[in-house]
A = this chain, B = another copy of it.
């Protein structure tokens, strides 16, 4: 059970790298060379982040990707939700089918509490905070 999968991890690395450069617009070629991730997969990830308004893209020669927001405004939760789907730890596996009293389910309540905590913690992590602390080139 992983909180963060590889596409989110790659996204963090890429965004983190971009945020540390003088030039705003960074090409996929440069990213691939610097953060060592598979090129076609990274392109797919960056295109998704572009559509979601986290990156802006520039086509043509000299083009590439730039941050659409300040690094301190890009939250880890945004990346996880965009690339892995909604953060939802408490999905009841039997829905309305059998469960006679879903509202008072003890397990569900417990997991909802856990989920709220996890989300609040992840929200406190931004690209800015990751770039400034710990390992700068690879956020493992």
Contacts and interface: CB of A to CB of B under 8 A. Distances in A.
A19 to B, nearest CB: 14
Given A108-B140, A113-B121, A140-B108, A101 B1 contact: no
A102 B140 CA distance: 7
A90 B3 CA distance: 7
Given A1-B87, A2-B1, A130 B117 contact: no
Contacts of A1: 1-3, 84-85, 87-89
Contacts of A100: 135, 137-138
A36 interface: yes
B9 A138 contact: no
The DSSP consensus for interface residues of chain A is loop
13 contacts: A3-B90, A4-B107, A93-B140, A94-B140, A99-B138, A100-B135, A102-B140, A106-B133, A106-B135, A106-B139, A107-B125, A107-B130, A114-B117
Interface of A: 1-4, 6, 9, 12, 36, 84-85, 87-95, 98-102, 104-111, 113-114, 117-118, 121-122, 124-125, 129-130, 132-135, 137-140
